[in-house]
């Protein structure tokens, strides 16, 4: 998942991992529902491509999200779960 761009990871985290609807994820992300749907489509397509290509394992450095990614994602997930 860390090979996906942050916006695509975020939509998967909210809709798949947290189980939010597209409408709820849009409210959390502060964007239109259509944007959430298109990002979800792109995220699934990209994840499928990576899996089909047999993506190389991530290095230890690649596995660590940046401090900003962690705080943004943690904050959005916490708000979504309230």
Q: Would you give per-residue pLDDT tens digits along the chain (82 residues)?
A: 778 889 999 999 999 988 999 999 999 999 999 999 999 999 888 888 888 877 564 555 655 555 555 555 556 665 665 5
Structural contact between residues 7 and 32, judged by C-beta atoms closer than 8 angstroms: no
For 53, residues 6+ apart whose C-beta sits below 8 A from its C-beta are none
Buried/exposed code over 32-41 (b: 16+ C-beta within 10 A; e: otherwise): eeebbeebbe
Number of C-beta neighbours around residue 13 at 10 A: 19
- pTM recorded for the entire structure: 0.64
User: How high is the pLDDT of residue 68?
Assistant: 55
Query: What letter would DSSP give residue 57?
Result: P
């Amino acid at each position: 998942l860390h090979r996906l761009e942050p916006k695509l990871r975020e939509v998967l985290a909210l809709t798949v991992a947290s189980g939010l609807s597209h409408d709820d994820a849009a409210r959390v992300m502060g964007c239109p529902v259509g944007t959430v749907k298109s990002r979800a489509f792109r995220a699934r397509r990209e994840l499928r491509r990576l899996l089909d290509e047999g993506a190389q394992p991530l290095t230890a450095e690649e596995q660590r999200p940046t401090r900003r990614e962690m705080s943004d994602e943690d904050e959005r997930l916490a708000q979504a779960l309230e």
